[in-house]
Homo-oligomer: A and B are copies of this chain.
Amino acid sequence: MLEQVKYFEDFVIGEGRQTVGRTITETDFVVHAGHSGDFFPHHLDAEFCKTLPFGQRIAHGTMVFTIGVGLTATIINPVAFSYGYDRLRFVKPVFIGDTIRSRVEIIATEPMEKRPGFGRVTERLTVTNQHGDTVLVADHIYMVERRP
């Protein structure tokens, strides 16, 4: 993990980076159920899932989001604060054995009128699988200090 101070003025639209990949395992499914308390059979009952269109267990949306975001957690910016996410969408299902990676890209920057000294930076998160298909998107909103 690296620390890197990056002020509002340092963010450039179009800048981005790609993470390493991670294979989503049956273990992740079971851990996420136990962590979230969501034991819906869509995620945990292989027999039931044979009767559904996808024919197999489907990852919790909150897990794809959690791991997709987690993959990006490699650089600490001490002057940026997570504010929330807009337009989080579960685009395609993730199955046991899929390998996902995340791409983040700055898509908007604007001063915060109500919060002088801060700017609002929007970073698009795109999670893809091993086929190159997008499985999840979300727009991460940061409050970032302006350069002093």
Contact = CB atoms under 8 A, between A and B. Distances in A.
B22 A41 contact: yes
A47 B101 CA distance: 11
* Interface size band for A: 35 or more
Contact of A22 (B32, B37, B85): B37
A87 B84 contact: yes
Number of copies: 6
Contacts of A34: 31, 33-35, 37
Interface string A45-66: 1111000000001000111011
Contacts of A73: 36-40
Contact of A66 (B27, B35, B47): B35
Interface in A1-36: 1-3, 19-23, 25-36
Contact of A28 (B35, B39, B82, B83): B35
A112 interface: no
Interface in A63-106: 63, 65-67, 69-71, 73-74, 76, 82-90, 97, 99
B86 A38 contact: no
Interface centre among A1, A26, A29, A45 (most CB of B within 10 A): A1
A31 B37 CA distance: 11
A99 to B, nearest CB: 4
Interface of A: 1-3, 19-23, 25-41, 44-48, 57, 61-63, 65-67, 69-71, 73-74, 76, 82-90, 97, 99, 130
